Structure 1
Amino acid sequence: MFNDFEILEEDVPVHLQVKQYIKRLILKGALHGDQKLASTREMGQLLGVSRNTVIAAYEGLEEEGFVYTLQGKGSYVAPLSAATGDAVPPWKTEWSSRLNDYARQAVDLDRMKSGIRAGRNTISFTSIAPDDHLFDLDHVKRAFLDRMAIEGNVLLNYGYAKGYKPLIEFLMRYMEQKGVDLQGKDMLITSGFTEGFDMILAALGKNNGGAVLCENPTHHTAIKNLKLNGFEIKGIPMEHDGINLRELERALSERAYDCAYFVPSYHNPTGIVTSPGKRIALMKLMAEHQIPVIEDGFNEELRYSGSHALPLIATAGRGNGVIYIGSFSKVLFPGLRVGWVLADRELIDYLESIKRARNIHTSTLDQSVLFQYLHNGHLEKYLKKARAEYKRKYEWTRLCCEKYIPFARVTGDGGLHLFLEFEENFDTHQLLEACSENGVIFTPGDLFFTDGGGVNTMRVGFSRVSDEDIDKGLRIIGGLAAKQLEG
C-alpha cells in the first residue's frame, strides 16, 4: 500500500494531493475505520514527501471528518457514517424505460451530438460565436476587480431572481436608446437567450392549440424549445427584406395563433435584416390579430452599414404585446451567461416567479462584471473595434462565396454568417460529407427549417476563421459543389 502515490499536478499543493490520495483509500475501503495510520514521519517516507506535508494532509483529513487523533497515540481512520462498497446490494436501472417524452425529444433534436466534429486542422464554418482574439480582456479584469472591491461580499452571496438592479437600470436605459417606450414595462435578467425563451414558452398558454408563427427558416434553438414546450410551428417563407407578408396574411386567415417568434435583425440563419417598412406592416398585422410577439434581438449590434432599424418592440410604442429577448453573447463575451427579457410589467412578474422556482437567479457575479464593464464605458469602444473586424471578414467571405460558389444565391446583410442556397435538388448533406473528407465543415441549412425543407441550403459562419482559411475553405466547398452539380 502507498506505493502508487504520484504527484500529478504541479500547480496543486502537495499536501492537498496527499490528502486526496488518503481520502480515496478510505472511501474505497483500503483503509478501515479505527485503523491506525502511519506516523507522519513514516508516511512521509512511504510517499516520498516531507513530514510537514503529511502533517498538513492529516490536519485536513481531520477537519473533514476522515481522521481522528488520540493524544500521544497518533492518527486513526474515522469510521464512515454510511456504508460503502458492497454493503448495499447493487442494482441496475434501465434508464431508457424511465425517461419521459421530453427527454427523448431533446435527444432527437440535439443535432450537436450527431454532427460532424471538427478535427485538428479542419476549417470549420459551423460557429457563429465571437472571435475570442477580439475580447477586451484587460477591461474585463478591471471590471471584475472594481466590482469586487465595491461589494464583493454581496456578489458572492445569493442574489435576486429578477436580476442585479444596477444592470437592470443600465439595460433599461440602453433599450430606451433603441427607441423603446418603457412605460408599463419591466425587465428580468436571464442566463442568456435560451433560458429567457424557454421560460416565456413555459408561461404562455395554448388557447389556440399552441400554434406559433415564425420565419422559415429560423433559429434552430428556438425550433427545439418550441417543440419541447409542445408548440405547433407554422413557418412563413423569407424574402430579401424579411418575412413574406402575403404568406403571413394567408396563414393568419386560416387559423388563430398563440404567439409569434421573429428575428428581425441579422436573422439566423439567413442574415437578412427586415426592412423598416416591413417591420411596421408586420406589427400592424400582429396588432390586428392580437398575437403576442417574441422578438429575438440576435446580433442587433452588428450593423455594418445603413440606418438603424428600430426593434419591433420600439415600433409597438406603448403597446404591451411584444416580448423582447436581448443578449450580448454574439457580440461581447458568451462565457458571461447574461441575457434579458423586456416586456409588460405583469408578464415579468410571472416570469420572475418561474425564474425563482427554476434556478433562483442568474449568477450575480456575472451580472455585476458585465454591469461594471458597461458602466466603465467600454461597450462602444469594443463594438467599434469588433464591427470593423467583422465587417472586413463579412465582405471577404462574401467575396470568396461569389468567387468560388457563383452558382449559389448568397444572403446576409451583416452579422457573423452568410447563407447559401443552391438549386432545388442539391443536397448539402452530401456536400458536407465530401467536404469533411477534405478538411472543411459547415452547417447544413435544413437544420433551421420548420417544415423539413432547406436540404439545398447551408450556413457559413466566418467569425472565428482566418482570412486564409476562409479563402481555402470556400474554394474547396465551391469545387466539390461544382462536381456534385455535374454528377
Structure 2
Amino acid sequence: MFKDFKLIAGRPVYIQVKDYMKSLILRGALQGEQKLPSTRELSLLLAVSRNSVISAYTALEDDGFAYTVQGQGSYVASAAASDSTTAVSAWTMDWKTRLSSRALLAEELDIMKRGIRAGKGTISFTSIAPDESLFDLDNVKRAFLDRMSVEGNVLLNYGYAKGYKPLIDYLRQYMEHKGVDMRGKDLLITNGFTEGFDIVLSALGQRHGAVLCENPTHHTALKNLRLNGFDIRGVAMEPDGIHLGELKRALEEEEVDCAYFVPSYHNPTGIVMSPEKRQGLMKLMAEYRVPVIEDGFNEELRYSGSHVAPLIAAAGSGNSIIYLGSFSKVLFPGLRVGWVLADQELIYVLESVKRARSIHTSTLDQSILYQYLLGGHLEKFLKRARTEYKRKYELTMACCKECLPYSRISGDGGLHLFVTFPKGFSTRELLAACREQGVIFTAGDIFFTDGTGQHTLRLGFSRVADEDIRRGIEIIGRTARQLLG
C-alpha cells in the first residue's frame, strides 16, 4: 500500500494526497474505523511534506472521509468506507441496446472519431480553424479584466437564454452595417453555429421532411440535417455559386421545408456566390415560398473585390431568411459564441428551445467578446488576419497550380481551397499514399449529399507553415501523378 502514489506537476500536492487517500477508502483498501498513518509517517511513505499531509487530512475530514480523535490521530469514517456486506452487487449493462437511433446515428456520422490523427511531423491540411499565432491575446486579456471589473458578479451568475443584451445590441448594429433591414427581426445568442443550426432545425415543422442545399456543402450541416430526420436534396455548384437551373428543377420536382445555403466562402468549395446569382436565388425562393437558412461562413475574410451583402440583406423587410452568424473562423473559436438572426416571432420561440436545452450561452464568453468588439479591435485584427491569410492563400494557390494535376481549383478567399481531379480518380487512395509520406488532407466525398465527390479534396492552409505548404503540396502532386500513371 502507498507505493502507487505518483505526483502530477501543476496540481496542489495536498489535493493529490487527499484524492489518493479517498480512492483507497472508496475501494476498500482502508476500512472504516481503521487508524490512518500519522502525518509524519505518511509524509515519508509518499515523499511529500508533512504540511501537505496535514492539509490533506483536514480536507478528508471536511469531505466526511475521516475524523480525528484528540491525542490519538486520524481514523477512516465508517460511513464513507466501502462495506462489502451492504454494497450493491456489481452488474453490467449493454448500453448500445438502450441508445436511441439518433445517438447511434450521431456516432456513425462522427468523422472526428475516425479521422486521421496527425502524428508528429505530419503536414496537415485538414484544419480550417484560425491560426492561433494571430490571436490578439493582449486585448482579449484586457477585455476580460475590464468586463469583470464592471460586472464580474453578474457575469459569473446565470444569464438569459436570449443572450447578453449589450452583445445583442452590438450585433444588431453590426448586421445593419451589412445592409440588413432589422425591422421586425431579432437575435438569439448561441454556442456557435452548430447549436444555432440544430436549434433552428429542431424547431421547424417537417411538412415534407426534405431540405435543399448546395452539393457539396458543409459536412457539419449535413450531419445535423440527417440527425434531425431531413432528407437532403443537393444542387450542383458552378464557378460563381449554385446552379440556378438545377435549383429551379429541384423546386419543381419536390416540395421542401427549407433550404440551406452558404453563399460566401462556401465550405468546402470556397466559392463566393455572385450578386447576380444571389438575386436569382432569392427570386426562386420567393416564387416557391421556401424559407432559407443562411450560413454566414467566413464573410469577413474577403481578400479582393468589394464586400458581397448576405442573402438576408437582399430580403429587405421580408422575414423568410434565417441567418446564422459566428466569429469562430474569424476571431476565436474557443469563445463559443454565435447568433441566429431571424423574424422576431421566430426568435421568441427559439429562445424557449434554447432555454430548454442549455439555459444560456456562457455570459462570460459573451461579455469578453462584447468588450473586445466595443474596444474597436475587430477591424484592426481583421486587417492583420486578412493580410496573413491572403498571403497564405496566394502561396497555396500558386503551389497547387504548379504541382497538382487538377481539373479545377476553387476558392475565392477564406481559409481553404477545393481541388477537383479528373473523373475516376480517388482522393481516398491519394490520401492513403500521402499519409505514408507524412501529408494529410480532407477527402472531398464527405461534403457531398449523394455519395459522389470521390475525385475531390479540401486543403486547409490557415495553420500550415509556408515551407510545409510548399513541401506538402509537392508531395500530393507527385503522388497524384504517380496514381494517374
What residue in structure 2 maps to residue 255 of structure 1? 254
Q: Deviations over 1:13-33 (max 9, x none)?
A: 222222122111111111122
Which piece of structure 1 moves more, 363-372 or 383-392? 363-372
1:62–1:281: structure 2 CA closer, same or farther, 3 Å change rule?
Answer: same
Between the aligned partners of 1:44 and 1:418, the Cα distance in structure 2 is: 59
What residue in structure 1 maps to residue 39 of structure 2? 40
User: What is the 5 A alignment of 1:211-226?
Assistant: 211-226=210-225
1:412–1:49: structure 2 CA closer, same or farther, 3 Å change rule?
Answer: closer
Letter of the 2:169 partner, please give it: E
What residue in structure 2 maps to residue 203 of structure 1? 203
What residue in structure 2 maps to residue 404 of structure 1? 403
Which piece of structure 1 moves more, 8-17 or 311-320? 8-17
What residue in structure 2 maps to residue 309 of structure 1? 308
Q: Deviations over 1:56-100 (max 9, x none)?
A: 111111111111223444322112358567822121211222222
1:29–1:431: structure 2 CA closer, same or farther, 3 Å change rule?
Answer: same
What residue in structure 2 maps to residue 174 of structure 1? 174
What residue in structure 1 maps to residue 229 of structure 2? 230
Contact residue 389 and residue 462 of structure 2 kept, 8 A: yes
Between the aligned partners of 2:271 and 2:46, the Cα distance in structure 1 is: 64
The CA deviation at 1:174 is 0.6
Q: Deviations over 1:392-421 (max 9, x none)?
A: 100110000000014331011000000111
Which piece of structure 1 moves more, 402-411 or 314-323? 402-411
Between the aligned partners of 1:423 and 1:43, the Cα distance in structure 2 is: 70
The CA deviation at 1:102 is 1.1
Give the secondary-structure state (helix, strand or coil) at the position aligned to 1:400.
helix
What residue in structure 2 maps to residue 146 of structure 1? 146
What residue in structure 2 maps to residue 299 of structure 1? 298
Between the aligned partners of 1:11 and 1:252, the Cα distance in structure 2 is: 60
Between the aligned partners of 1:43 and 1:473, the Cα distance in structure 2 is: 55
1:85–1:300: structure 2 CA closer, same or farther, 3 Å change rule?
Answer: farther
Letter of the 1:49 partner, please give it: V
Give the secondary-structure state (helix, strand or coil) at the position aligned to 2:226.
helix
Between the aligned partners of 2:49 and 2:478, the Cα distance in structure 1 is: 65
Between the aligned partners of 2:4 and 2:99, the Cα distance in structure 1 is: 41
2:483 equivalent to 1:484: yes
Contact residue 338 and residue 367 of structure 1 kept, 8 A: yes
The CA deviation at 1:54 is 2.1
What residue in structure 2 maps to residue 454 of structure 1? 453
Q: Deviations over 1:408-454 (max 9, x none)?
A: 31011000000111111111111111111111111111110001111
Give the secondary-structure state (helix, strand or coil) at the position aligned to 2:151.
helix
Letter of the 1:146 partner, please give it: D
Give the secondary-structure state (helix, strand or coil) at the position aligned to 1:141.
helix
Contact residue 31 and residue 82 of structure 2 kept, 8 A: no
1:42–1:108: structure 2 CA closer, same or farther, 3 Å change rule?
Answer: closer
Q: Deviations over 1:260-318 (max 9, x none)?
A: 00000000000000011111111111111111100000000100111111100110011
Contact residue 31 and residue 77 of structure 1 kept, 8 A: yes
Q: Deviations over 1:304-348 (max 9, x none)?
A: 111111100110011011000000111111011111100111111
2:265 equivalent to 1:271: no
What residue in structure 1 maps to residue 133 of structure 2? 133
Give the secondary-structure state (helix, strand or coil) at the position aligned to 2:307.
coil
- Of all paired residues, the percent bearing the same amino acid is 68
Contact residue 430 and residue 479 of structure 2 kept, 8 A: yes
The CA deviation at 1:375 is 1.0
Q: TM-score, normalised by structure 2?
A: 0.97
Q: Deviations over 1:108-155 (max 9, x none)?
A: 212222222211111111110001111111111111111111111111
Q: Deviations over 1:370-396 (max 9, x none)?
A: 111111111000000000000010011
Which piece of structure 1 moves more, 131-140 or 38-47? 38-47
Between the aligned partners of 1:50 and 1:83, the Cα distance in structure 2 is: 28
Which piece of structure 1 moves more, 37-46 or 77-86? 77-86
**RMSD value over aligned CA atoms?**
1.5
Which piece of structure 1 moves more, 103-112 or 82-91? 82-91
Contact residue 28 and residue 85 of structure 1 kept, 8 A: no
- Unaligned runs of 5+ residues in structure 1 are none
Q: Deviations over 1:333-368 (max 9, x none)?
A: 101111110011111111111111111111111111
Between the aligned partners of 2:357 and 2:454, the Cα distance in structure 1 is: 37
User: What is the 5 A alignment of 1:61-100?
Assistant: 61-80=60-79, 87-100=87-100
Give the secondary-structure state (helix, strand or coil) at the position aligned to 1:285.
helix
Letter of the 1:439 partner, please give it: G
Between the aligned partners of 1:68 and 1:81, the Cα distance in structure 2 is: 11
Contact residue 27 and residue 84 of structure 1 kept, 8 A: no
Give the secondary-structure state (helix, strand or coil) at the position aligned to 2:278.
helix
The CA deviation at 1:158 is 1.0
What residue in structure 2 maps to residue 377 of structure 1? 376
1:49–1:424: structure 2 CA closer, same or farther, 3 Å change rule?
Answer: closer
The CA deviation at 1:47 is 3.2
1:320–1:64: structure 2 CA closer, same or farther, 3 Å change rule?
Answer: same
Give the secondary-structure state (helix, strand or coil) at the position aligned to 2:255.
coil
What residue in structure 2 maps to residue 161 of structure 1? 161
Give the secondary-structure state (helix, strand or coil) at the position aligned to 1:340.
strand
- Unaligned runs of 5+ residues in structure 2 are none
Contact residue 302 and residue 331 of structure 1 kept, 8 A: yes
Deviating beyond 4 angstroms after TM superposition, the runs of 4 or more aligned structure 1 residues are 81-86
Between the aligned partners of 2:5 and 2:277, the Cα distance in structure 1 is: 69
1:115–1:45: structure 2 CA closer, same or farther, 3 Å change rule?
Answer: closer
Between the aligned partners of 2:183 and 2:340, the Cα distance in structure 1 is: 15
Which piece of structure 1 moves more, 111-120 or 189-198? 111-120
Contact residue 236 and residue 243 of structure 1 kept, 8 A: yes
Give the secondary-structure state (helix, strand or coil) at the position aligned to 2:118.
coil
Contact residue 156 and residue 365 of structure 1 kept, 8 A: yes
Which piece of structure 1 moves more, 477-486 or 40-49? 40-49
Letter of the 2:204 partner, please give it: L
Between the aligned partners of 1:241 and 1:80, the Cα distance in structure 2 is: 71
Contact residue 61 and residue 67 of structure 2 kept, 8 A: yes
